[in-house]
Chain A
Amino acid sequence: MKGIIFTEFMEMVEEKFSVDVVEEILSAANLESNGEYTSLGTYSHEEVLNLVTLLSEKSGLEAGDLAVVFGEYLFGRFATIHADFFHGVSNGFDFMEKVEGYIHIEVQKLYPDATPPKLTCTRASDDKLELHYRSHRPFASVAEGLINGCAAHFNENLTIDRQDLPGVGPGTEARFIMERTS
């Protein structure tokens, strides 16, 4: 998994909790990488799952909820770092539809070894979109958070019906049926 997920996760914990919490969960995790992340590196996604679990234990919040929050946070960061992806895109559905065919391809240009999730969008109507998520990583909740972040970015109200699918394990595949209400 790309290093930016790790660095941004650390940033979020630092921001939402504290530097001390970061140090605490890092030392508790006993990571292979020793937590020396850079956005350019590639690290095992087990590490971030491990950190989320430790943060859940520490904060008493649900791991799944933390993942969703992280997703929302991550989207906001992307919007800041990669503002160019948003040029000429006026709503969330349009952006989501661009992710697979544009953004993931751009990612692969920079990191040929990257393995982003497979996203398939089906537009039922102008205001209704079905997004199918599939990955070898159990990050469906992060995806959900990203969708929330997207709606927030475009200042939209979405109802999201998440249906978990079996995939290669829990959290690896899900269907999000979204309806725009405003």
Chain B
Amino acid sequence: MDAEAWKKRYQREKSARKAAEHIAEEKTREIFFRNQELTKLAASLEEAVKERTRELEQQNLSLEEHRDKLKNQRRMLQSTNQALEEKAIELEKISRYKSEFLANVSHELRTPLNSTIILARLMLDNSEGSLNTDELHSLSIIYKNANELLEIIEDILDMSKVQAGELSIHMEDVSIHDLCQTLEEQFRPLADEKSLAFTIDVDSDLGEWINADRKRLKQILKNLLSNACKFTPGQGRVALRVFRDVWNPDTDYTSECLSFEVSDSGIGVPQEKQQTIFQMFKQADGSTSRNYGGTGLGLAICRKLSDLMDASLTLVSEKGQGATFTLSLPPGSLLPNTEEHSPSSKDNDFFLESAGSDDNEVVDFNQQTVLLVDDDLRNSFALSQLLQKQGLKVLLSENGQQALELLETERQVDLVVLDLMMPTMDGFTMLEQLRSKVDYRMLPVIMLTASSSAEDEKRCRLAGADDYLSKPVEVSELLTCLHRWL
């Protein structure tokens, strides 16, 4: 190959080398840029991760704050709850104290009132004819006022019991006839005095017997009738109607029930007051108490008692158009009309009261000896006056211990009237000791106490009491009871 050819070949190779170098450089540049992009991408990814991490941290932080806030709120709620609970306990305690206080005060008031009523009643009899008309009139006012006072005390006591949750219901079979007769006897004189047209109407399709709490039912009806008489002006009309009614009339589940409807032509209750009069210490307006008297407890107690009996007590009235109160006893109160109740049923308060109230039926006793055990001397005095008048001998003891000692020396005792709450030895302990002695197992013992709790009655009867009367006892009731055992 000649020099010229070598030169050409050299130039060719040099060009090829340069081209290769150029390509390599381009490739290197490309790689650099790719690398740069990758680095950027990595950096932006890293930044995104960092950003996301920051966001998560922020979220975490706010979640933690939120959690702390919730924790705080929960703590606050807990402490509030605790404070409320403590307050509730305190209030309950206060309420109980109040109820106990009211019960105690009522008891203390009832005991002296008891003797006042008995003595006034005795003197009103004027058996020796020594009192003139004015004196008898004064006495009748004392007797009436004492009875009114007693009713107020009873209301307060009931209300405190309701509030303390101590009021319970005792269902038994009650004769509608006897119930209505008692009400008739009690309200007829009142109605006559004000020249009111007073009627009691029992639907003929009703049976004789219903199932209810006799005492509470009577209490509600007495209250309603007493209100009706009180708020109806002279020449007006007061009516009690007893009839089959529809239970739950506003719902799909209706059945038959028993309703007592007390209506009058009195002053009525304005629409806006029809709920408040059922609240404690509330009357239709401030002037009611001034014009008509009363504590404002009657209807509140009626509503509570009605609730306790699962009954409903409603009012329909317009101002100046009279009022109609309806007490509806739940369906279970209606009993099938059968005769089997009659024989045993005569032994109940209504019968005895109605019978007892008829003075003609009370015959004098035959100088039997009654031992009267009571620490309240006023009460003992009043009772002994009453019993001596009925032809009984009366021995007095101030407590159980004294009575037991007296029984050791004076064996001619035909019956014991025993107070429950006494110092030194209470009636319950004395009764137990008496029954533990053979000689006195059969001696009739009538418990007499201001406590009206059913628990006490049960306890006394278990311990061997033959009868149980609660103070203030109606004269007729006591005499009937004595007749039963002497």
Instruction: Report A33 CB to chain B, min CB distance, Å.
Output: 15
A109 to B39, CA, bound (A): 14
Q: Are B17 and A38 in contact (CB under 8 A)?
A: yes
- Per the 8 Å Cβ criterion, residues 58-111 of B in contact with A are none
Number of interface residues of B (CB under 8 A): 11
Q: Give every chain A residue within 8 A of B20 (Cβ-Cβ).
A: 38
B36's nearest neighbour on chain A, judged by CB, is A109
A158–B233 Cα gap in the complex (Å)? 137
B485 contacts chain A at the CB level, 8 A cutoff: no
Q: Are A110 and B17 in contact (CB under 8 A)?
A: no
- B280: interface (CB < 8 Å): no
Taking CB atoms, residues of chain B closer than 8 Å to A19 are: 7, 10
Contact assessment for A40 and B29 in the assembled complex, using a CB-CB cutoff below 8 Å: no
Would you call A110 and B21 a contact (CB within 8 A)? no
Tally chain A residues at the interface, Cβ within 8 Å.
7
Near B by CB (< 8 A), chain A positions 101-127 give: 109-111
Whether A40 lies near B32 (C-beta < 8 A) is: no
A34 CB → nearest B CB, Å: 15
Q: A39-B25, A40-B24 are in contact. Are A109 and B32 (CB under 8 A)?
A: yes
Expressed in whole angstroms, the minimum distance between the Cβ of B253 and any Cβ of chain A is 94
**Residue of chain B at shortest CB distance from A108:** B32
Assembled-state Cα–Cα distance A133/B208 (Å): 135
A38 / chain B contacts, CB cutoff of 8 Å? 17, 20-21
Looking at the assembled complex, report how far the CB atom of A38 sits from the nearest CB atom of chain B, in whole angstroms. Answer: 6
CB-based contact B24/A109 at 8 Å: no
Residue of A nearest to B32 (CB): A109
Question: Smallest CB-CB separation from A38: which chain B residue?
Answer: B21
Residues of B within 8 A of A111 (CB): 28
Which B residues lie within 8 Å of A110 (CB)? 25, 28-29, 32
Distance in angstroms between the alpha carbons of A36 and B394 in the assembled complex: 155
Distance to closest chain A CB from B10 (angstroms): 8
Give Cα distance in the complex from A168 to B343, angstroms.
143
Who on chain A is nearest to B35 by CB?
A109
Q: How far is the CB of A3 from chain B (nearest CB, A)?
A: 8
| Neighbouring B residues of A109 by C-beta, 8 Å | 29, 32
**A:3-58 near B, CB below 8 Å:** 19, 38-40
Q: Beyond A19-B10, A38-B17, A110-B32: 8 further Cβ-contacts under 8 Å?
A: A38-B20, A38-B21, A39-B18, A40-B21, A40-B24, A40-B25, A40-B28, A109-B29
- Offer 13 A-B interface pairs, CB within 8 angstroms, sorted by A: A19-B7, A19-B10, A38-B20, A38-B21, A39-B18, A39-B25, A40-B21, A40-B24, A109-B29, A109-B32, A110-B29, A110-B32, A111-B28
Chain B: residues with CB nearer than 8 A to chain A?
A: 7, 10, 17-18, 20-21, 24-25, 28-29, 32
Task: Give me the interface of A with B, judged by CB distance under 8 Å.
Answer: 19, 38-40, 109-111
